Amino acid sequence: NALVYISSGTGEKREYTYRELHEEVNAFAGALKELGVSRGDRVVMYMPMMAEAVFAMLACVRLGAIHSFVFRGCAVGYLAHRIDDAEPKVVVTADYDMSGADAIPCKKFVDAGLDAARFAPGHVIVCRRGSGGSMPMTGGRDLDYADLRERYIGCEIPVEWVESSHPIYILHTSGTTGSPRLVQRDTGGHAVALTTSMRHVFAAKPGETMFAASGASDIGWVVGHSFIVYGPLLCGMASVVYEGLPARADPGVWWRIVEEYGVNTMLTSPTAIRALKKHGFEHMSGHDTSSLRNLFLAGEPPDKRTSLRVSESLGVAVRDTYWQTETGWPILRERSPEPEDEPLEAASFGFPCPGFDVRTVDRESGEEVPAGESGVLAIGPPLPPGCADAVRSNERFIKTYFSDFPRGLYSTFDWARRDEMGRYIVLGRANDVIKTPGQSFGTREIEEAINDHENVEEAAVVEGVASAITAYVVLDDGDTVENEASRTAVEREVKDAVERKVGTAARPDEVRFVSDLPRTRSGKMLHRCIRAIAAGREPGDISTIKNPEALEAMRSARPPMIPEKAEVIEHKGGKE
């Protein structure tokens, strides 16, 4: 197989061999070509996790066109902006997204986006899910993919050969440091990078099966682009495209998929694992998951306690990978994905992946800091294949990523520490670093200490008013602590734990209990917004936020306390 498509929402299960995938890609390419798409043209995609999304992406590549995914659930204005940005010949969408409890109308949303956009693409292709509901179609513009497919299935559409530097796609980052940034990737370097990473980062082999499961691994995010579509297919593997949320109705669904399709390699996010954890760990051991060699995580610092429990329940190694939309593939990974190698402690220290010249540097001078000290994670030139290219303006690209430090160092805008063995741990965004007189802490350092508390589900730590260290804590039962006495007890224990494990300087000035923390739609904690709220400012660009109500709740989670701290320290470094 090349593709296994499973949807919990529609109940569909489809399998495609490489031959069949080739036919489907040609059919989609035929449809796009009929609508005037050719080399260099943009195609905007607003698609759920469905096989047709893969066909459409690969059809663009076949024609030398550039796909631009827009994340589902964004505001109408955001979609309109992306359409105006890309000026696409065609927009591809579906009638509904069926991943959750309710079907979400994608096409209706695209209609609203097109109404708000200045640029009008020639056509909208709609892939129907068979939901049977009425679907307003604009005559002359909107086309049903089933009709187009019928015309082109069985046709061979000639490949448009392109230079290695020809753009393959554009995509936005998740916006954890500010507004989402536009990233463009080339065709040749991307193929080299992903082929390399399948083999040397994920230890995956042709003929095996890869399952990048929901969370950040949505097809519309970089994780999905790289490891649902391009990576496994370049490697000759079968890739599982699964539409659904394991937390709904059936928390064991992932492990059933692993059993049924003999999945060897999985990739998911700490957020998705956290959601699974809510249903206990029993559902992980009731299936035959012996085919699975590795469960990789990406996108956020993993929660050590949960990773260990998952690893024990499944009997596989849970391994962290650290990377960015800009790089397209892992920068850091745990030493070796081969199971016979000694497992590393679940502290997520990682070695640089081949091609990445990683350093931790002083945020002011750009000089390398010694092992054991923290600094900004930077990458020495040249970046390896697959990393982002300048979009439109070289000047802007250089200014954004290469101007913070001398000697052409690329800034990841992350804060990290190297140990004596040359392994790195990523401690959070450099902008979110908590500065106390004499010492700086990455958000993760303090948050991990809090997360170790048995009643804590998750925590976010920020510098609030007058540099007060403020910890927002979600408790395990998902609710705020009602009882004042137990609240005071947990508050004290949390503060003591930080003092014991991290140091007196890191002790939170205040602990506020909340029922949720703001995250991007790809599952990343929005520290910059939490920091703004804690400091009584507006949260800034929230176009990628998943749960804006969490921000609202935070505003009312007790008025900020102003501690008696002599020194107010300004944030420096990184870009917002």
Judged by the rule CB under 6 A, the positions of this chain that interact with ligand AMP are 173-174, 176, 298-301, 320-325, 412, 414, 426, 429, 522, 524
**Closest to 69 measured CA to CA, from 79, 59, 61, 55:** 79
**Count of positions (residues) in the chain:** 576
Q: Do 71 and 192 touch, CB atoms closer than 8 A?
A: no
Cα–Cα separations (whole angstroms), residue 389 to 94, 322, 477, 554: 30, 20, 45, 38
Which residue, chain included where needed, has tokens 């079907």? 103
The amino acid at 492? R
As to burial, measured by CB atoms within 10 angstroms (0-12 exposed, 13-18 middle, 19+ buried), residue 278 is exposed
CB 366 within 8 A of CB 378: yes
Give 46 or 322: the residue with its C-beta nearer to ligand AMP.
322
Partners of 456 in the beta sheet? 475
Confirm if 220 and 71 have CB atoms less than 8 A apart. yes
Phi, psi for residue 545 in degrees, rounded to 5: -70, 145
- As to burial, measured by CB atoms within 10 angstroms (0-12 exposed, 13-18 middle, 19+ buried), residue 345 is exposed
- The Cα–Cα gap between 346 and 337 comes to 14
Residue 490: CA count within 13 A, CB half-sphere? 26
Query: 185: which 2 tokens?
Result: 């990737």
**Which helix (H) or strand (E) segment is 186 a member of?**
strand 182-186
Q: How do 265-268 and 209-212 pair as beta strands? A: parallel
Beta bridge partners of 16: 3
Peptide bond into 382 cis (omega under 30): yes
Question: In angstroms, how far is CA 521 from the centroid of its own chain?
Answer: 8
* Phi-psi map region of 425: left, alpha, beta (phi>0 left; psi -120 to 50 alpha): beta
Residue given tokens 């995609």 in the structure block = 45
Nearer residue to ligand AMP within complex by CB, 189 or 299: 299
**Sign of dihedral through CA atoms 430, 222, 315, 254?**
positive
**Alpha-carbon span 408 to 260, nearest angstrom:** 49
**DSSP 8-state assignment for residue 227:** I
Tokens 């200014």, located at residue: 399
Q: Which amino acid belongs to residue 190?
A: H
